[in-house]
Amino acid sequence: MRSLFPYILCACATLAAQTADPAAPHLRKQGEAAQLVVDGAPFLVLGGELDNSSSSSLSYMDPIWDRMVALNFNSVLAPVSWELIEPREGHFDFSTVDGLIYGARRHGLHLVFLWFGSWKNGTSSYVPEWVKKDFHRFPRGRLANGEAVEVLSIFAPANWQADAAAYAALMRHIRQIDGSAPTVLMMQVENEVGFRNAPRDRSEAADAAFRSPIPKELSDYLEKNKGVLTPEIRARWQAAGAKTSGSWESVFGSGPATDELFMAWYYARYLDRVAAAGKAAYPIPMYVNACLGCAGGGPLARVMDIWLAGAPHIDILSPDIYGSNFEVWCQRYTRRGNPLFIPEMHHSEDATRDMLLAIGQYDAIGTSPFAVDAIENPAASPLARTYALLQQLAPVILAHQGLGRLTGFVLDKDHPSVTREMGGYKLTISLDEIFHSHADIGYGLVAAAGPDEFIGVGAGFGVTFKPKTPGPSQAGLAGVDEGTYREGKWVPGRRLNGDEDDQGRAWRFSPDAPKIERCTVYRYQ
C-alpha cells in the first residue's frame, strides 16, 4: 500500500473519493507528506478524543462542545457504537450520529468518528445485544482449553459481514447528511484491536487457518516487497528461510511472534472488509489505532507489513502514544510511507511539546489527546495554549510539510541540540543558554518560510545559522519579531533584539511560554 508512497494499494479507494465526491475529505501527497484535504484545502487536525461514553448522549454532550471550542480544537474524535446505531438487526437509529454532526457544526468543529464495532480494546463489548446473545451465529474466539472468550472471532465470516453491513449503513448515512459540506473528516475502524486472551485464537476455524498455507496475497506481498520490508518482519522471515509459501510456522518459524503475525493478518483482513464496505458507501480516509503495549495482532509497528499487505482499504496505521519514547514511535509509524496521525496521547504539558515534534518533524496529519472532556479549565490548559498557536500557524505548516522546509524538536539535557538543513542554511537548534541560565527543556517547530525567512513556535531554544549554498560564508540575524497570525496575516509585536536575541547572535525563544517568532537572516564575510 505504501512502499513508495502511502497509498499505492489504497489509491483506488482514495481516488474513488476524489472522483465520486470532490468535496469529500481525502488524502493527498505533498512532497514526502500525506495531507488530509478538506473542502479542497489541506487541513491540520487539532483534535481531542472524548471519553468513551460521552458521545452516546447528546444532552451529556451539550456543555462539552463549548469546552472543546475553548480548548481551541478544530476537530473532536467521538465514538459511534454498533450497539446504539443498530439496536435490532437491520433497524438503524442514527439520531445520535446526526446530533453529534449538528452539535459539531453549530460550534464550528469537525468530527472524526471512531467506529466501536466488533472490538474496542480487544473485547466485543460494543456489539449489539442481538450479536452478543447469538453466539452460534456470531462465534467467539477460544482459548487452548476450548473455553470461549467475549471476543468475536476473526475467523467467522458472519462476524465481519454483520459488522460491515452496519458500518456501510453508517457511512451511507454520513454521506447523505454530511457529504456536501463535510463535518466528518475521517473514520477510525474499530478501536485498538488484538486478541489479548492468549497468543492466538484457538477455535477450530483458527487452528485450521493456522495449519494452512499462508494466503497468496501475503506470499505475493513478501515476494514483491522483500527489499523494503520492515526489519522486524524481514528478520523473522529470513531466519526461517525467506520462503514465500508454506504454513505460518514454516514461513515465519514457530512461537508467539508467529502467532502474532498470524492474528495480525486475520485482523487486517477483517478490518479491511469492514473498511471496504464503508468506503463503497462513502470513501473518506480511514485509519486503525494501536495499543502499543498490547500483543495479539493489532496494528503494531512490528507487524506493520502484515497490516499493509492485508488491509489495503485502511489509509493510516495510527499509534496511541501514552508512554515514553514518543519520537521512536513517530519514527516507527512513518516507515513504509505510513502517514502519521495520533488519535490518542496525553494532554499534559509534555505531550503538547511532543505535538510540535510530530507535526514539524514527522508531518503528522494531526494529533488528538484522549479524555479531553475531563479538562475542566480549558483556559489553564497547556493544550489550549499550544492549539491556539498551531491554529495560527496551520497555513504555514501545511504549506511546508513534506518539502524539507519544516522541522520539529524537543531538547533536554541529554539531547541539548539538533542540526537541521533547510532554506539554504544549516540551523543549529540548542537549549536556550543566556545569562548562564540554562533551559531544562526546549521545544518547537521551525519553518523555512521564504528566502532568508524563518517562522518558529516554541520555547526554551535558540537557533544559529550557517549558509549552505554558494555565496558569503557567514549568516547574521537581519531581524527578529514576535507576533501573531490573524486570518493568515503576520502581525508583528515586539522587535526582539539585545538580550532577547543574545545581542544578535541567536534567534531565541525564551523558556517562559511558547510563542511565535519570525526571523530574517542575511549573509556576510
Q: What is the binding site for ligand DGJ (CB under 6 A)?
A: 52, 121, 191-192, 320, 344, 370
CA atoms within 13 A on the CB side of 429: 29
Choice between 7 and 113, CB closer to ligand DGJ:
113
Choice between 121 and 428, CB closer to ligand DGJ:
121
Choice between 327 and 344, CB closer to ligand DGJ:
344
Taking the complex as a whole, how short is the minimal distance between the CB of residue 335 and ligand DGJ, in angstroms? Answer: 22
Using Cβ positions, the residue closest to ligand DGJ within the complex turns out to be 192
Taking the complex as a whole, how short is the minimal distance between the CB of residue 274 and ligand DGJ, in angstroms? Answer: 17
Residues forming a β-bridge with 189? 115
Taking the complex as a whole, how short is the minimal distance between the CB of residue 289 and ligand DGJ, in angstroms? Answer: 6
Q: Which residues of 469-478 are buried (b: 16+ CB within 10 A; e: fewer)?
A: eeeeeebebe
Taking the complex as a whole, how short is the minimal distance between the CB of residue 82 and ligand DGJ, in angstroms? Answer: 15
What is the dihedral angle through the alpha carbons of 118, 123, 128, 130, rounded to the nearest 10 degrees?
A: 100
Taking the complex as a whole, how short is the minimal distance between the CB of residue 452 and ligand DGJ, in angstroms? Answer: 45
Rounded CA-CA distance 138/324 in Å is 39
Residue 40 burial (CB count, 10 A): 8
Taking the complex as a whole, how short is the minimal distance between the CB of residue 316 and ligand DGJ, in angstroms? Answer: 15
Q: Record the cell numbers describing residue 75, joined without a space.
A: 476537530
Q: Record the cell numbers describing residue 287, joined without a space.
A: 485509519
Rounded CA-CA distance 357/364 in Å is 9
Torsion sign across C-alpha atoms 292, 7, 37, 167:
negative
Choice between 64 and 411, CB closer to ligand DGJ:
64
Rounded CA-CA distance 243/137 in Å is 37
Choice between 192 and 502, CB closer to ligand DGJ:
192
Rounded CA-CA distance 455/462 in Å is 13
CA atoms within 13 A on the CB side of 245: 1
Q: Record the cell numbers describing residue 44, joined without a space.
A: 491540520
Choice between 152 and 477, CB closer to ligand DGJ:
152
Taking the complex as a whole, how short is the minimal distance between the CB of residue 292 and ligand DGJ, in angstroms? Answer: 10
Choice between 52 and 183, CB closer to ligand DGJ:
52
Rounded CA-CA distance 381/434 in Å is 28
Choice between 77 and 365, CB closer to ligand DGJ:
77
User: What's the Cα-to-Cα distance from 237 to each of 300, 375, 401, 443, 509, rounded to whole Å?
Assistant: 17, 46, 35, 40, 48
DSSP type of residue 76? E
Torsion sign across C-alpha atoms 251, 253, 258, 261:
negative
Taking the complex as a whole, how short is the minimal distance between the CB of residue 293 and ligand DGJ, in angstroms? Answer: 10
Rounded CA-CA distance 498/504 in Å is 7
Choice between 193 and 463, CB closer to ligand DGJ:
193
Q: Are 300 and 202 in contact (CB under 8 A)?
A: no
Q: Are 93 and 84 in contact (CB under 8 A)?
A: yes
Taking the complex as a whole, how short is the minimal distance between the CB of residue 175 and ligand DGJ, in angstroms? Answer: 26
Residues forming a β-bridge with 345? 321
Choice between 303 and 422, CB closer to ligand DGJ:
303
